[in-house]
Structure 1
Amino acid sequence: MEQQTRKQLLGSKFSPLHFGTSGIRAPVADMTDMECYINARGFIRYLYKIKEIKVGSDITLAGDLRQSTPRIMSAVHQAILDEGCRTLFCGFIPTPALSYYTWKRHLPAIMITGSHIPEELNGIKFIKSSEEVLKDDERDILFHVSEVREREYSKSENDCLFNMDGFFKQPIGLPSIEKNALAEFLKRYTDIFPSNILVGKKIVLYEQSAVGRNLLKDVLNSLGAEVICFGKSDKFIPIDTEKMPDSVINLFKQLAKDFQPFAIVSTDGDSDRPILANENGVFLSGDLLCTLVSLYLKPDFASMTATCDSATIATLEKSHIKVTLTKVGSPYCIASMNEKLAENPNAKIVSWERNGGYLLGSNFVVNSKILNALPTRDSILPIIIALIFSAEEDVSLSALINSTLPHHFITSSAINNKTKGCESYSADLGRIMISRFSPKDSSIKELDFTSKNISQEAKDIKLRLELYFSPALGYDTITSINYTDGVRISFLNSEIVHLRPSSNAPEFRLYVTANTEEQANKMITDRLSVIPAMISDIE
């Protein structure tokens, strides 16, 4: 086959991968060996450019328990070797465990994970030697990726490692596993908290396919808890903590009846998002869990994504914790923490997303010991802090929550092109939907309808929204709209509807905060009529 013809065929056959809110995500079918290899080499060349590595440097590699993960690991391992570096293979461990291990050694890392999304998708998360890849890094990384792709596509068939389907001609193995990464992450917590703090507490661990299931069990055992393991699965089970499946919610309630535990715990696929339910099996949303953790740690500053519950802001500010809102995605959380640390290097800084992943932007003193900063989503810390907080107060988890957190009901869900009436939905359509309810001036981040000076454009936006969210349809008067990330609608009775297209999956998300559980369920169910109506009105 002529070289130019081969290059054209490859260019028309394969689609470049793209960054989502945190790393690259794509259908497994699109994540061929060649494409993963090309993207990994592009990232490594970027590391050379910013002088984070030199020839012969170690780059750590780990992954989750998806079926496709080992194959993608092999492609990345080969990319590391071909760029003149060495693979420090940490095996199948949580993303925060890999980050903790690699940052202690000032090494970059690559994590193969699709996090919480279904098994037919996967992802690659690039990690620099001191922090995650931020949004400012992505353009330069993609520039180097395009250079590598041009070079790879231009190779002759004999010189190329890959066949025309994008897979290795010969199998690529993986190196032996460096086991210290998991042990060091366990020690991070066992060194800080007393070994008897959870004695007498029965904890049900829903293992499913979470890569950190054994780690979480070991942490809880080390704190003295009685751990009952349930539901271990060799098949990957996707659990999105922002839209918990009814099957899991019902399972937790049944587990509570069967075992009468102190709490039920779990994590998502790569174990950077916590899952915690109280003794009655009632799931605690991520933003409320992280608020609880912050009340315990008492940081100076907390950065929350715009999807979080506004009532938690008031709760934090009453405890003299300053709050700011940012876009969804750990890169935005980290950038926000970095800004505050630049202003005050001695400040105690935290951040979180509605999914519950908790980021420590600075060191904290806990039990007269130093808990080192870990500016990446972590599921272990919020789970054990909530359990310890409750144990120290000598109350049930539900009693602690009722006494410290706002009495709101928070839930979320989404639609995609499989939802009835939404068959035409796409990422582009999601952006059009948001623009229909947004000011033309993108620098405007909030419309306040309690103000005396309201522009005609703002009035028109409010009228358009009231076609779907009005008193006649069970909603109070719209008082404000925030545009930090999507369209966040606040009502007079403190309820909230937040519309936002996902950056990780082809879906349109809806987050609600309500004053009663019944109203929260109504508002989230309304998406099945409201979103199709919005799509129909555009078309």
Structure 2
Amino acid sequence: MAPAFGTSGLRGLVTELTPELVASYIEAFLVACPQGRALYVGRDLRPSSPEIAAAVIAAAQAVGMDTVDCGAQPTPSLAMASMAAGCAAVMVTGSHIPADRNGLKFYIPEGEISKADEAAIKAARAAGHKPQGSGGQARPAPDAGAAYIARYVQGFGAQALAGLRVGVYRHSSVARDVMEAVMAGLGAEIVPLANSDVFIPVDTEAVDPGTRHQLAQWCSEYGLDAVISTDGDADRPMLTDAAGNVVSGDILGVLSARYLGAEVIVTPVSSNDMVRQIPEFRHVHLTKIGSPFVIAGMEAARDRDPQAKICGFEANGGFLLGFEAQQRQPLAPLMTRDSLLPIVVPLIAARAAGLSLAALVAALPPCFTAADRLQDIDRDKAGAFLSRLSTDMQARAAFFAPEGPIADIDLTDGLRVNFTSGAVVHLRPSGNAPEFRIYAQAGTAQAAQDLVPSVMERVSAHMG
């Protein structure tokens, strides 16, 4: 399958992301979208990223665009730097997917591109449009990482996490040094864990059993209050409690938004329904899955009420701050998916409440989620299977018979099935990888966890 746009950026096999293909997308982006005076370029730590980033820079300079090479950089750090400079940006990353794949994330000076921008890029590429220019130059790069670190250390203060012992699972996250600097800057004691020179595709939305076991072992062995990490490009967080239990991304979103004083929440239909049970949230708007849809929802909410305190987050934990949050120093809005804010804020909120992170989570309304994915699927078979379940009531009832009677369904993004028991199963093919996601929700953690493998086994049988 040729590289294509999914829920967040362009993705494809490294072998297909040739300099010529990369150049065609960069040229189309520069024609179709605002770019400011220069193009900022960053990359993650997968082996193919330096070469692809060089292709991005060469393509931009060839059509007259100055470039700023920010090097290996967290996606939110790159976005923050480019937006501050009023410039566009491209992040070379495949996020959480394996190293044989990679991709491009595009940013205009105001933040992440929209689905309308994606359509404009594809149309410009199909028409062969490119800027008329030459001789773009390299510009000096700012210390984007330092500014990103300062955002949190200055925002919350040097004693915000004093007394906590935090493990940093470094693996191949491009933010591994940044995470340690932020935690230390906030007063925590840092324990570095498992640095890797080989790229490890950590999916914070579907942490595998082996990794969960390792997280619990680290917490016990080192006496940790938490373990933190991110996916490869650091726009998705991972945070555990002191027992090594991973706190799901949508729960991190709820805790962060509530502590920061948000009143309006925009989140995909896949997020935990708990968000609609938090009294501080006046309005909750549900969208399709993907940060462009969340951003569009946040902008629509801002149009309705320019003074609203708006936050957006996804089930994967990526958090978008849409207003100036008043902390030790004001925290400026950042309209891109961030991983550090939903790591830092729940730890600060627990400390402020005099609770452990586990106790803070336990005090939330009881609604539990679990998720997993089938990999290397046949996308055509997956689409046909999901279409049949979505349109054929009898087929749907037969497939979900083990879960009991169906109350209703939601086709906002994939197929979400609400059962009369109160349980939920949500099926959805990935938008940018050969994967099929299975989300479950129930009144207890065990019930949610039990639902996923049962449904996944049946889904797999239909795709064989």
Q: TM-score, normalised by structure 1?
A: 0.82
Q: Does 1:406 align with 2:369?
A: no
- Contact 1:298/1:321 (8 A) holds in 2: no
Secondary structure of the 1:490 match is: strand
- Contact 1:312/1:406 (8 A) holds in 2: no
- Contact 2:438/2:456 (8 A) holds in 1: no
Instruction: In structure 1, give the amino acid aligned to 2:333.
Output: A
- Which residue of structure 2 lines up, in the alignment, with residue 159 of structure 1? none
- Which residue of structure 1 lines up, in the alignment, with residue 350 of structure 2? 390
- Which residue of structure 2 lines up, in the alignment, with residue 8 of structure 1? none
- Which residue of structure 2 lines up, in the alignment, with residue 122 of structure 1? 102
Q: How does 1:108-507 map to 2 (within 5 A)?
A: 108-148=88-128, 178-314=141-277, 316=278, 318-367=279-328, 369-403=329-363, 405-417=364-376, 425-439=377-391, 461=393, 463-470=394-401, 473=402, 475-507=403-435
Q: Distance in 2 between matches of 1:293 and 1:79?
A: 39
1:218-273, CA deviations, whole angstroms, 9 ceiling, x for partnerless residues?
11111110011010111111111121111211111100110121111011100110
How far 1:37 moved relative to its partner? 1.6
Bigger Cα Rg: 1
- Which residue of structure 1 lines up, in the alignment, with residue 53 of structure 2? 73
Q: Distance in 2 between matches of 1:140 and 1:490?
A: 36
- Contact 1:303/1:325 (8 A) holds in 2: yes
Q: Does 1:516 align with 2:444?
A: yes
- Which residue of structure 1 lines up, in the alignment, with residue 134 of structure 2? none
Structure 2: stretches of 5+ with no match in the other structure: 132-136
- Which residue of structure 1 lines up, in the alignment, with residue 32 of structure 2? 46
Q: Distance in 2 between matches of 1:36 and 1:382?
A: 32
Instruction: In structure 1, give the amino acid aligned to 2:296.
Output: A
Q: Distance in 2 between matches of 1:295 and 1:493?
A: 29
Secondary structure of the 1:239 match is: coil
Q: Distance in 2 between matches of 1:177 and 1:432?
A: 50
- Contact 1:290/1:382 (8 A) holds in 2: yes
- Contact 1:42/1:142 (8 A) holds in 2: yes
Q: Does 1:34 align with 2:20?
A: yes
- Contact 1:209/1:236 (8 A) holds in 2: yes
Instruction: In structure 2, give the amino acid aligned to 1:277.
Output: T
- Contact 2:30/2:130 (8 A) holds in 1: no
Segments ≥4 residues shifted beyond 4 Å: 174-177
Q: Distance in 1 between matches of 2:94 and 2:214?
A: 24
1:62-101, CA deviations, whole angstroms, 9 ceiling, x for partnerless residues?
1100100000011111111111011111111100001111
1:401-451, CA deviations, whole angstroms, 9 ceiling, x for partnerless residues?
111x2333321112234xxxxxxx422332222222335xxxxxxxxxxxx
Instruction: In structure 2, give the amino acid aligned to 1:489.
Output: V
- Which residue of structure 2 lines up, in the alignment, with residue 96 of structure 1? 76
1:293-348, CA deviations, whole angstroms, 9 ceiling, x for partnerless residues?
1221121210111111113322x2x2243101100110000000000111111111
Q: Distance in 1 between matches of 2:400 and 2:162?
A: 49
- Contact 2:256/2:345 (8 A) holds in 1: yes
How far 1:214 moved relative to its partner? 0.7
Q: TM-score, normalised by structure 2?
A: 0.95
1:472-516, CA deviations, whole angstroms, 9 ceiling, x for partnerless residues?
x2x232112111111111122221100111101112111011233
Q: Distance in 1 between matches of 2:275 and 2:417?
A: 16
How far 1:521 moved relative to its partner? 3.1
- Contact 2:32/2:120 (8 A) holds in 1: yes
How far 1:148 moved relative to its partner? 3.8
- Contact 2:31/2:129 (8 A) holds in 1: no
Secondary structure of the 2:111 match is: coil
Q: Distance in 2 between matches of 1:255 and 1:144?
A: 50
Are the structure 2 counterparts of residues 195 and 438 from structure 1 closer, same or farther at C-alpha, using a change threshold of 3 Å? same
Secondary structure of the 2:228 match is: strand
- Contact 1:334/1:361 (8 A) holds in 2: no
Q: Distance in 1 between matches of 2:236 and 2:463?
A: 31
- Contact 1:209/1:235 (8 A) holds in 2: yes
Q: Distance in 1 between matches of 2:336 and 2:268?
A: 14
Q: Distance in 2 between matches of 1:532 and 1:46?
A: 40
Instruction: In structure 1, give the amino acid aligned to 2:29.
Output: F
Q: Distance in 2 between matches of 1:121 and 1:528?
A: 24
How far 1:361 moved relative to its partner? 1.8
How far 1:29 moved relative to its partner? 0.8
Q: Distance in 2 between matches of 1:528 and 1:343?
A: 40
1:88-124, CA deviations, whole angstroms, 9 ceiling, x for partnerless residues?
1111110000111111111101110111111110001
Instruction: In structure 2, give the amino acid aligned to 1:343.
Output: R
Q: Distance in 2 between matches of 1:312 and 1:195?
A: 31
Aligned length: 459
Q: Does 1:18 align with 2:13?
A: no
Are the structure 2 counterparts of residues 16 and 517 from structure 1 closer, same or farther at C-alpha, using a change threshold of 3 Å? closer
Q: Distance in 1 between matches of 2:198 and 2:129?
A: 33
- Contact 1:311/1:406 (8 A) holds in 2: yes
Q: Distance in 2 between matches of 1:311 and 1:190?
A: 30
Q: Distance in 1 between matches of 2:147 and 2:226?
A: 26
Instruction: In structure 1, give the amino acid aligned to 2:9.
Output: G
Quick one: percent identity of the two aligned structures?
Answer: 34
Q: Distance in 2 between matches of 1:361 and 1:84?
A: 33
Q: Does 1:87 align with 2:67?
A: yes
